[in-house]
Amino acid sequence: MRVLFVSSEVYPLIKTGGLADVAGALPRALVELGHDVRILMPGYPQALEAATDKREVANLGVPLGAGETRLIEARTPDGGVPLLLIDCPAAYARGGGPYQDGAGHDWPDNPVRFGLLGWVAAVLSQPTTPLGWVPDILHGNDWQAGLAPAFLHAWGGPRPATVSTIHNIAYQGRFPADTVARLGLPWSMYTMEGLEFWGGLSFLKAALVYSDQITTVSPTYAREIQTPAFGCGLEGLLAHRAADVTGILNGADYGVWDPSSDPHLTQRYQPAAPEGKLANKLALQGELGLDRDGGAPLGIVVSRLNDMKGMDLLLAALPTLIGQGAQLAVVGTGDAHLEAEFQAAAQANPGRIAVRIGYDEGLAHRMQAGGDMLLMPSRAEPCGLTQIYAFRYGTLPVVHRTGGLADTVVDSTYDTLLAGTATGFVFEQPTASALRWCLERAVSLYRQPEQWRRIRLAAAAQDFAWRRSAERYRRLYAALLSAREGR
Ligand code: ADP
Ligand code: GLC
């Protein structure tokens, strides 16, 4: 099958979170299953710089008033998957991040920047594509790719089967109504059954209305988003389309996340051998200015810092954690007040709490290797990748039972410990007191080294390789295509 995979970020070209990890790994896993996959993404300066074998393959003119636009064919730096980069300097050639400027404000022209992503995806999906390569499947991710199926609907004519994946329903790409005309979409589609959402244009709603299939990144989140507590206003539409909504759990790229081959570590180790982990823990404590104490349980956070990630709950539970003799190491960026509160906690607890505000890929790996527990009290978590990576590093997740966390972590209870199936610690309610109680349970098991070792071994032995998830997407694509033939 020919698959056009559309994403606004792709590891290792540019990354702000888990979407980039997925877009860097799933297309490659599909190629390994024998499919012909191309990734389409915006030509940010970082991406143009990192891509290899670049050559211009089409001049797309000045679409949507965005500026001169060319299409560059290239390859991901590992040579793995063909890339298509949209080279539109007026839209993408600037400093800052993919969605925001350096001060953390959304780029004001985001509707045009990502309208262009959807528009190009739609152009490349038609028989008239300048590439001469017509996809069977158009697979878009998140709101940034959301308009592609809407453009195809507006233009009519033959089109590929379309799949849209929701990585986080809280981000919807909502813009004022006049964006509809700016992007050349017909007003006839600006209705309650179409593009309109609370008096504006919603890119994510466009994806959910006009795609043949909707997927999200865990089975539990697929159910949760059909309820008001998690659906962010789109629960009605999703429940209406329930037959076309599937949850497919993400995988882990063990080429990037494996302590026995990880180039970021002081000392590589086999998850089953505890000495290697201890060496990484002492090195991490040294790097971050924590007391060098191999016996103190070390909790880590590698995360965006916001309330969805439950970071306020963690701050409230910190005195309990530290009171139990544990340490905490945080690397993250996010809401200014949470960044400030974590920094204040570090200042008040020198040697016990260390906080690095910022984005640091190498440190994220060293924390996974040096930590004992990964703290992830998310109120909502579509899938979550860090807990899946943590398993392989022998770092045990402490999580709220929601979304992909519920689908990946097995709580340590009397029964699961006896059966040898426990892989972490799970609490039921997103409250500080539930988290405190869970942390106490985790620390007390940490003090029983034989028990802890068994849980670590069970956690590390699990296999979340992408192959299995890619196989599920393959089946979904194939079912869509055979349903079309049947029509
Ligand atoms: P989300 O996509 O919601 O941010 P995930 O758990 O799916 O959450 O993915 C987060 C990804 O981003 C992981 O690869 C994690 O290592 C990485 N990450 C998050 N924050 C940082 C940071 N401050 N520095 C480096 N990597 C980070
Ligand atoms: C989103 C979600 C996260 C998920 C990631 C990749 O950023 O917040 O839970 O793992 O996408 O699908």
Residue 172 lies in a domain: yes
Asked if 439 and 294 sit in the same domain, the reply is yes
The boundaries of the domain holding residue 173 are 2-251+466-486
| pLDDT at residue number 272 | 74
pLDDT digits (tens, 9 = 90+) for 175-205: 999 999 999 999 999 999 999 999 999 999 9
pLDDT digits (tens, 9 = 90+) for 145-155: 999 999 999 99
| pLDDT at residue number 79 | 73
Asked if 308 and 456 sit in the same domain, the reply is yes
Asked if 302 and 402 sit in the same domain, the reply is yes
Residue 267 lies in a domain: no
67 alpha carbon – ligand 2 mean position (Å): 31
> Which residues contact ligand 2 via a Cβ below 6 A?
17-19, 22, 167-168, 217, 250, 381-385, 404
| pLDDT at residue number 414 | 96
Which residue's alpha carbon is at the smallest distance from atom 12 of ligand 2? 167
Residue range 23-44: mean pLDDT, rounded: 97
Which CATH number belongs to the domain containing residue 426 in this structure? 3.40.50.2000
| pLDDT at residue number 484 | 87
| pLDDT at residue number 353 | 98
186 alpha carbon – ligand 2 mean position (Å): 32
Task: State pTM to two decimals.
Answer: 0.97
Average pLDDT, the chain: 97
Asked if 164 and 235 sit in the same domain, the reply is yes
Indicate whether residue 331 lines ligand 1 (CB < 6 A): yes
Query: Is residue 147 within 8 Å of residue 115, measured between CB atoms?
Result: yes
| pLDDT at residue number 180 | 98
Which residue's alpha carbon is at the smallest distance from atom 5 of ligand 2? 18
Asked if 322 and 245 sit in the same domain, the reply is no
| pLDDT at residue number 166 | 98
Residue range 245-271: mean pLDDT, rounded: 96
What's the total number of domains in the chain? 2
pLDDT over 90, % of the chain? 96
| pLDDT at residue number 32 | 96
Asked if 304 and 417 sit in the same domain, the reply is yes
Pocket test for ligand 2, best of 217, 308, 388 (most atoms within 8 A of CB): 217
pLDDT at 435 over 80: yes
Q: How confident is the model at residue 351 (pLDDT cuts 50, 70, 90)?
A: very high
Residue range 71-78: mean pLDDT, rounded: 94
Q: Which ligand places an atom closest to the C-alpha of 220?
A: 2
Asked if 291 and 226 sit in the same domain, the reply is no
